[in-house]
Structure 1
Amino acid sequence: MLHEVKFPSFNNRDEVTGWIYVPACEPEGVVQLVHGFGEHSRRYFHMIVALMDAGFIVAANDHVGHGATAIANDTWGDWGDAGPHTMMEDEKRFKDVVCKKYPDLPYFMFGHSMGSMIARDFSTKYGDELMGVIYCGTTGVFANTRAVREKVDAAVAAGKAHEADPAFVGELFGWMFSRCDEGVKLGNEWICHDPYVQKDHAEDPFDAFTHPCHNISVRDFIDMMLCIEGKEWAEKVPTDLPILLIAGDQDPVGNFGEGVYTCANWLIDTGHDVITQLYPGFRHEIHNYDEIKFDVETTLVEWLTMQL
């Protein structure tokens, strides 16, 4: 069964589109899937099906400025003016919609890339509503954030908040191609070695990765990362919330493994129950590699089942 739902965004402007995928069995629980920067939630369909096959309801929406939500509101790359917690608060609103339809089920969150940042922010405010959380392809201390933010601040102060300067995103992400030995042709090679995944990502009409992101949205993205840095962030996460960190060790978002362990250590040092698994030799989208996607999905299902 599939429900398409819409709900008002925290930005007080957009209507967010989401989907609730329901298996044809007695559900074990709910996994809320939170997608990354510039993409959309249907890029996780293989994983969604695997989770449904394991008996989980999967809830996934397209963020403001992204995918079906951006198309419906005509707001590509524009996240609104409500600040860096907008998407996190939208995930809370979506969770409330899901729980109204399917109450009293164990509830989990999976976030990839920017989605992991949203999930980490969610964990500090609403972590007590979750039975477990998975941070996939997450970051430790992301390079260039403060230097780029100063330039974005200047553009916003000059009245260019809702203009788009691709140079800001270029500077923020440019270093991430340092281990792409095949060269840079499409501008997304850091996500995966597989040229078919790169092509699919680049040509997806619901994928806003190559659409200009408004300057104020770039600032919100940077602030989203800054608010989940350090033990100060980890101390706000409930210590009884089980956490799984999973990533490729050649993922630049996680600083090639180092940042993932940095995040794990912040949590461990503040008393959290954390499991960390890195896949050697793989880049950002471990769930889209043919070689390991089934293994990734098995790892997720086994960990989720352990929490029930």
Structure 2
Amino acid sequence: MNRQETKCISLDELSLKGSYWPSSKESLANVLIVHGLGEHHRRYEHVALAFTEQGFNVYAYDQRGHGISDGKRGHSPTQEHLHDDLEKNIKQITERSDKPLFVYGHSFGGNVVTSYMLKNGTANIKGAIISAPWFRLAFEPPKIEVALGRMMNHIWPAFTQSNQLDPGDLTNDAAVNDAYKNDPLVHDKISASLFVNAYAAGYWCIDNASKLKISSLMIHGQDDPLIDVHGSEDFIKNAGDNVSLKVWSETKHEPHNDLKKDEVISYISSWISSNL
């Protein structure tokens, strides 16, 4: 394994740390992975290594407030800060390589990637993989909680509390769920501003899906107890023919980590190869 450490500095001077896995054969494409809420990029190492076997250079970074990157755990002042962080990483890759770039965002990362593309365009992105994207939660929070979140966003946006995630909701693989539970780089924090902004951005993405013009693959587990699979289906209804959806049966929130992970990763690899 030939992993190299990466770093870029955000517009507000946070150090965003990540990794680069070079292709094990002739390079065909670059893939940038954007992780979900509370986790970190090294949980995607097996995905990255599988991609390198297909001729893809793989990059990933810890979002602000996550993993080994700077920032208060689970906090981002605005959605635009997350977009700027993503753009910084995209720019760093495109300055290094002229190979086509595919951006792969999971869950909260799928929310960030999709809202970025719909608002900022896709000039430097060849295609996107959007995994179990946070468009709509599988459980609708009580209206009072949403109202309190909005109030706290005005009063104390950096206020954090537990996201109450149950590791058992991630996959059907107990070993994966236990590893998540015991991972020192995983946290359960979410700030008022991050919740309010991501919650609103998810619904906005569905309403504006027709603006996504590049080839995009959306994947989702049929049994996802965290993110509503019907939100992905509604996005597809509003999007053009350039966006496709693959739903995996007997799969929870993390298709790339669940019992069908090898099949899922192979499917994504084949999709990238067919869209070079």
TM-score by length of 2: 0.90
| Aligned 8 A contact 1:23 1:55 in 2 | yes
| Structure 1 match to 2:237 | 265
Q: Secondary structure at the match of 2:190?
A: coil
Distance, in Å, in 2 between the alignment partners of 1:306 and 1:224 is 30
Q: Which amino acid aligns with 1:144?
A: E
1:108 to 95, 102, 122: 102
Q: Which amino acid aligns with 1:262?
A: D
Shift of 1:46: 0.9
Any stretches of 5+ residues in structure 2 without a counterpart?
none
| Aligned 8 A contact 1:20 1:98 in 2 | no
Moved more, 17-26 or 51-60: 17-26
Shift of 1:101: 1.7
Distance, in Å, in 2 between the alignment partners of 1:258 and 1:216 is 25
2:212 to 230, 237, 243: 237
Q: After the TM superposition, which residues 72-151 of structure 1 pair with which residues of structure 2 at under 5 Å, given as runs? A: 73=70, 75-79=72-76, 81=77, 83-102=78-97, 104-124=98-118, 125-142=120-137, 143-144=139-140, 147=143, 148-151=145-148
| Aligned 8 A contact 2:223 2:249 in 1 | yes
| Structure 2 match to 1:282 | 251
Distance, in Å, in 2 between the alignment partners of 1:105 and 1:114 is 26
Distance, in Å, in 2 between the alignment partners of 1:266 and 1:75 is 35
Shift of 1:288: 0.9
| Structure 2 match to 1:250 | 223
| Aligned 8 A contact 2:135 2:201 in 1 | no
Does the C-alpha gap of structure 1 residues 141 and 78 become closer, same or farther in structure 2, counting only changes over 3 Å?
closer
Q: Which amino acid aligns with 1:293?
A: K
Any stretches of 5+ residues in structure 1 without a counterpart?
174-186
Q: Which amino acid aligns with 1:266?
A: N
| Aligned 8 A contact 1:152 1:215 in 2 | yes
Q: Which amino acid aligns with 2:211?
A: K
Does the C-alpha gap of structure 1 residues 144 and 95 become closer, same or farther in structure 2, counting only changes over 3 Å?
same
Distance, in Å, in 1 between the alignment partners of 2:242 and 2:263 is 22
Q: Secondary structure at the match of 1:105?
A: coil
Distance, in Å, in 1 between the alignment partners of 2:93 and 2:257 is 26
Q: Which amino acid aligns with 1:106?
A: P
Q: Structure 1 residue 17 and structure 2 residue 7: aligned?
A: no
Distance, in Å, in 2 between the alignment partners of 1:227 and 1:86 is 17
| Structure 1 match to 2:9 | 8
| Aligned 8 A contact 1:287 1:297 in 2 | yes
Distance, in Å, in 2 between the alignment partners of 1:301 and 1:45 is 15
Q: After the TM superposition, which residues 166-177 of structure 1 pair with which residues of structure 2 at under 5 Å, given as runs? A: 166=162, 169-170=163-164
- Count of residues in correspondence between the two structures: 272
Rg comparison, structure with higher value: 1
Shift of 1:126: 2.9
| Structure 2 match to 1:156 | 153
Moved more, 32-41 or 115-124: 115-124
Percent of residue pairs identical: 21
Query: More helix by proportion, 1 or 2?
Result: 1
| Aligned 8 A contact 2:25 2:54 in 1 | no
Distance, in Å, in 2 between the alignment partners of 1:237 and 1:243 is 8
Shift of 1:89: 2.0
| Cα deviation digits, residues 3-38 of structure 1 (max 9, x gap) | 32222224x141111222112322001011111011
Does the C-alpha gap of structure 1 residues 259 and 78 become closer, same or farther in structure 2, counting only changes over 3 Å?
closer
Does the C-alpha gap of structure 1 residues 149 and 229 become closer, same or farther in structure 2, counting only changes over 3 Å?
farther
TM-score by length of 1: 0.82
| Aligned 8 A contact 1:132 1:243 in 2 | yes
Provide runs of 4+ in structure 1 moved above 6 Å: none
Distance, in Å, in 1 between the alignment partners of 2:140 and 2:6 is 37
Q: Which amino acid aligns with 2:85?
A: D
Shift of 1:192: 1.2
| Aligned 8 A contact 1:87 1:118 in 2 | yes
| Aligned 8 A contact 2:6 2:17 in 1 | yes
Distance, in Å, in 2 between the alignment partners of 1:155 and 1:107 is 38
